[in-house]
Amino acid sequence: MIKVDLKGNVKELEAGVTAAEVAKSIGMGLYKSACAARIDGKVCDLRTPLTKDCSLEILTFDDPDGKHAFWHTAAHVMAQAVQHLFPEAKFGIGPALENGWYYDIKVGRSLSTADFEAIEAEMKKLVKADEPIVRRTITVEEGREIFAGQDYKLELMEEYAAKGWELSIYTQGDFTDLCAGPHLMSTGMLKAVKLTKVAAAYWRADASRDSLDRLYGIAFPKASMLEEHLKMLEEAAKRDHRKLGKELGLFAFRDEAPGFPFYLPKGMVLKNTLIDYWREVHKKWDYLEISTPQIMKRTLWETSGHWDHYKENMYTTVIDGEDFAIKPMNCPGSILVYEMEPHSYRDLPLRYGELGLVHRHELSGALHGMFRVRCFTQDDAHILLGQEQIKDEVVRIAQLFDEVYSLFKLPYKIELSTMPDDHIGSKEDWDIATAALADAITSIGKTYDVNPGDGAFYGPKLDFHIQDSLGRTWQCGTIQLDYQLPGRFNLEYTGEDGQKHCPVMIHRVVFGSIERFIGILTEHFAGAFPTWLTPVQVEIIPITERAHEYARQLKAKLDEAGVRSEADYRSEKMNYKIREAQLQKIPYMLVVGDKEVENGTVSVRARKEGKGGTMSADEFVAQILDEIKNKEN
């Protein structure tokens, strides 16, 4: 007999019982909705036998890991459907994503959206058949026989075997895939499936290799959930920051500079207003702003470790016969600033803030509007401090993050990322750093999820995932605790004991990057930014030529008060001008005609209820200034 802890309820069960059998013993409802299991913290198949005392969680579609197993299974079902329709198909990889899955496939021709209906119909047949899914481990020799003719699978299998990994396959009906899992027990749970798009993708992201078709899809246990998701996608398409950025005149991209954004005049107002707010917040929280060079010598990047661990993402050049790199990160520059003068314990924590322009070589297929660019302004900060100050400083940073995200009404979750395989420094240092982050964040009543092995190469980190108005999550803020770089650069300070000590460094950003945060805010607010942030705050609309002079006086008054305004003097009809201003998402319109000129008033049309009506110009200025000062949303 073994003891199985089911969230505090300990049961004695026969050794060898599977997670699925335990779920069935609890209730058929749970068993039918179960997608995977978590055994002693590790996500596994429901078919996994329990052989010793352990903790067990049954994961449904409501759990992110349950969704992962659900969508991973759907990817296999889609591949099986493609195999039925295109027997010559060659299969690459088909991972689950945050929302759905994709599968890289090569057939005799390019697949298109015209193929979706037939593939979906075949998938529905496979779901209706409720094929059981069977897992087994194989040898390399067996794999070579099973995947004969599937060159991509054979390549992956040989790599996995060379690394000493267990080779496992999953079979449903006439389809077998090389896969680590986990998967559902059968295909029947996939009640609603939908293919969403197709794109080209190079095998192993290598432009010199085969081009495959990447088929994306989504699936749910209920048709109603799919309908809700498709409505969300429709709304997201309306909010697409690339579309709105063009319509609102904020930013643009050109073929002459792929991945490098062009800020248009209104976009610069938006960017600078966001930066002004960043400076305001960081001054309040005692940061010192610095600016460091764009290009620095290779030797610096070798010392930092970036040349060995990040070179493929760096742009390099040669100056006077020496190798230089355009900075992909700001941290080494902050270290050089720290080195310029001696420090004592009285100086710490020393908080450097930098709006540093960084460049990273991203694959062209990964570029995505403002979300993934090759050049961006990182709202960085690097904090040098003593080890005993870590907890208080992390708490302080988390409070700053909370202030910023609350202003934009962006709830968030925190994720603790731990030591990756490709790391520098000892495991002991990593354990100390990881525990320090966890202790700090729990001390202020915050919770976190663990993301194993996803830390930066120099230290663990806390990632802040914000949620926008459509419920989508974005990783923005991060707090990275670094015991490595200060030591690599031999940084020191004089301690209270008069001895030399090496400081710890915290790397942190709150927006993530100005560009990405602008993209997120554009979609979050659907382009209708809060008045304090929006590029044009007031549109003045004179409805007669006689009102033009009054409109100019109003604009001068608003300019003097620091309110961003435009006046539309075109000889168009009033309703046309109003509609144009609405499409530009301008929060206030001042409609003025002969009556307003005579009375010295303005007729205010406001985006928000309760802000409009007829009032004096001075009353309106006072109202909007109060809204801007308080940064109302």
Within 8 A by CB and 6+ apart from 142, the residues are none
Quote the longest CA-to-CA distance of the chain: 93
pLDDT in tens, 1-60: 899 999 888 999 999 999 999 999 999 999 999 999 999 989 999 999 999 999 999 999
Q: What is the strand order of the sheet 295-297 is part of?
A: 295-297, 322-326, 315-319
Strands (E), 437-594: 449-451, 461-467, 473-482, 493-494, 500-501, 504-509, 538-542, 565-567, 588-592
- Distance from C-alpha of 140 to C-alpha of 255, rounded to nearest angstrom: 46
Which residues are CB-neighbours of 240 under 8 A, at least 6 positions away? 369, 523
Q: Is 446 helix (H, G, I), strand (E, B) or coil?
A: coil
Look at the block and give the residue holding tokens 């990889």.
93
- The pLDDT score that the predictor gives to residue 347 is 97
Residue ranges of the alpha helices (H) in 408-513? 427-443, 485-488
For residue 632, give every residue at least 6 positions away whose Cβ sits within 8 Å of its Cβ, in sequence order, or none. Answer: 530, 531, 532
**pLDDT score for 20:** 94
d(CA 485, CA 340): 16
**574 class by beta-carbon count within 10 Å (0-12 exposed, 13-18 middle, 19+ buried):** middle
* Cβ-contact 305, 368 below 8 angstroms: no
The pair of three-digit structure tokens given for residue 100, joined into one six-digit string: 């759905």
- Gyration radius of the chain's alpha carbons: 29
Q: What are phi and psi of 168, to 5 degrees?
A: -130, 150
- Answer whether 183's CB lies under 8 Å from 135's CB: yes
Report pLDDT for 422.
81
Please give the Cα distance from 385 to 52 (Å, whole number).
45
CB-based contact 175:79 (threshold 8 Å) = yes
DSSP state of 165: P
C-beta separation of 604 from 615 below 8 A: yes
C-alpha 365/C-alpha 370 separation (Å) is: 14
Who's near 206: CB < 8 A, 6+ residues apart? none
415 and 373 Cβ atoms separated by less than 8 Å: no
Secondary structure class of 338 (helix, strand, coil): helix
Which residues sit opposite 355 in a β-bridge? 379
Element (H, E) at 153: helix 151-162
Task: Give the separation between CA 285 and CA 547, rounded to whole angstroms.
Answer: 47
Sign of the four-CA dihedral 493, 496, 499, 503: negative
396 to each of 8, 207, 390, 412, 441, how far by Cα in Å?
34, 45, 10, 17, 10
Q: What is the reported pLDDT for 457?
A: 77
Q: Which residue has the tokens 């540093």?
A: 356
Tokens of 123: 């998938």
User: How many whole angstroms separate alpha carbon 531 and alpha carbon 589?
Assistant: 12
pLDDT at residue 309 in the model: 80
Partners of residue 480 on adjacent β-strands = 461, 507
Answer for the pair 568, 580: CB distance below 8 angstroms, yes or no: yes
Pairing mode, strands 295-297 and 322-326: antiparallel
- Return the residue matching tokens 């200060």: 486
Give tens-digit pLDDT for 236-278: 999 999 999 999 999 999 999 999 999 999 999 999 999 999 9
Which residues are CB-contacts of 269 (< 8 A; sequence separation ≥ 6)?
A: 535, 564
pTM exceeds 0.85 for this model: no
- Cα 181 to Cα 448: distance, rounded to the nearest angstrom: 25
Say how far apart CA 422 and CA 484 lie, in whole Å: 14
- Sign (positive or negative) of CA dihedral 95, 374, 354, 305: positive
- CA quadruple 51, 55, 56, 61: dihedral positive or negative? negative
pLDDT for 568 equals 95
Q: Which run of H or E residues covers position 551?
A: helix 548-561
Give the up-direction half-sphere exposure of residue 585: CA atoms within 13 A in the CB hemisphere. 20
CA-nearest of 390, 418, 359 to 486 is 390
Phi and psi dihedrals of 36, rounded to 5?
-160, 180
End-to-end CA distance of the chain: 59
Contacts 24+ apart (CB under 8 A), 145-150: 146/176, 147/178, 149/90, 150/90, 150/91
Question: CA–CA separation, 401 vs 395, rounded Å?
Answer: 10
Residues of the chain scoring pLDDT < 50: none
Q: In terms of DSSP bridges, do strands 42-44 and 100-106 run parallel, antiparallel, or are they unpaired?
A: unpaired
Per-residue pLDDT, 161? 94
Spatial distance between the Cα atoms of 63 and 303, rounded to a whole number of angstroms: 42
Instruction: Spell out a b/e string for 78-104, using b for 16 or more CB atoms within 10 Å of the CB, else e.
Output: bbbbbbbebeebbbbbbebeeebbbbb
Numbers of helices and strands, H then E, in the chain: 20, 33
Q: Which residues are designated catalytic?
A: 331, 360, 378, 380, 382, 461, 507
- Residue-level pLDDT at 50: 94
